Structure formats: structure tokens, C-alpha cells
């Protein structure tokens, strides 16, 4: 049997703050999830995104240590409808108190691109085709 990608897990230190950030990026997360230690959200197409508090992870892996924030080996990227939407979403997130990492720019590969940090310091990309 060939394995298939089913779930992307994100470890968080503050569930409500993390979920608010990812709701702003369009993930369909119910409001009552803010108080849960584990949240599992199914996206169109069946891929799931799970959020777990550090405490949940340490319940089965007591040696877990949070990695330093910033660019890691895995960066989620969110597609926007237009370059203007990249700019607006970046400003909305920064205006809500999230940290901008790289302001929107026209990338040489033909996309409007921006980078923000989620509440736990994970890099998240925003992009749209330039034309």
C-alpha cells in the first residue's frame, strides 16, 4: 500500500491565539475549539490540519523540546486570489498583532509573496500569481 499525506500537525503554546491566526488564513475552525488541547480540522479534499498544545505532545513524548522560532524545514504556504489580497492579508495579520517576517514583494518566480510568523514563531507564506 502506498502511504498518503493525511494530516499536518502544528504544536502550539496558546491554542486560542494560534487558532485565531489560522482562522484569519481561512481554515474552518469552530470557535469552541479555542479551549481544547487538541483540534483536528478537515480541509476540502480531505487533508487534515491538527493543532496540539505542548502539554499534549509531552504527554506521549516527555522529551519534546520546542524548536527555535522562524524558518524551519516545513513552511505552510497559503494561496491568495490576487496580489492585492496578499498585501491586504499581510496587513490584516500584522495589524492584529502578528509578526511580519518579510513584507509583500514581487518575487522573481512570478508571484506576489509575503511571510508572517504565527503566534508560535512558525514561518507562514502568503502568495498569489502576479498576472
Name the helix (H) or strand (E) containing 20: helix 15-24
Place of cell 502578528: 98
Residues 129, 109: Cα–Cα separation, whole Å: 9
Binning pLDDT at 50, 70 and 90, where does residue 102 land?
very high
- Say what the pTM is: 0.85
Domains of the chain: 7-60 (3.10.180.10), 77-129 (3.10.180.10)
Model confidence at 3: pLDDT above 90:
no
Residue 65 C-alpha cell reads as 523540546
Q: Give the model's pLDDT for residue 65.
A: 87
Q: 127 and 86 in contact (C-beta within 8 Å)?
A: yes
pLDDT tens column, 41-96: 999 999 999 999 999 999 999 998 887 776 666 789 999 999 999 999 999 999 99
**106-131 pLDDT tens trace:** 999 999 999 999 999 998 999 999 98
Amino acid at each position: 500500500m502506498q502511504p498518503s499525506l493525511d494530516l499536518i500537525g502544528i504544536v502550539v503554546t496558546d491554542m486560542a491565539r494560534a487558532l485565531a491566526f489560522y482562522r484569519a488564513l481561512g481554515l474552518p475552525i469552530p470557535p469552541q475549539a479555542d479551549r481544547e488541547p487538541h483540534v483536528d480540522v478537515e480541509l476540502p479534499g480531505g487533508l487534515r490540519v491538527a493543532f496540539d498544545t505542548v502539554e499534549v505532545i509531552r504527554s506521549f513524548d516527555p522529551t519534546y523540546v520546542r524548536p527555535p522560532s522562524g524558518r524551519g524545514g516545513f513552511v505552510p504556504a497559503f494561496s491568495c486570489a490576487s496580489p492585492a489580497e496578499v498585501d491586504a492579508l499581510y496587513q490584516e495579520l500584522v495589524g492584529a498583532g502578528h509578526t511580519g517576517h518579510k513584507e509583500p514583494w514581487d518575487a522573481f518566480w512570478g508571484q506576489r509573496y509575503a511571510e508572517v510568523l504565527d503566534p508560535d514563531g512558525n514561518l507562514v507564506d502568503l502568495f498569489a500569481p502576479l498576472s
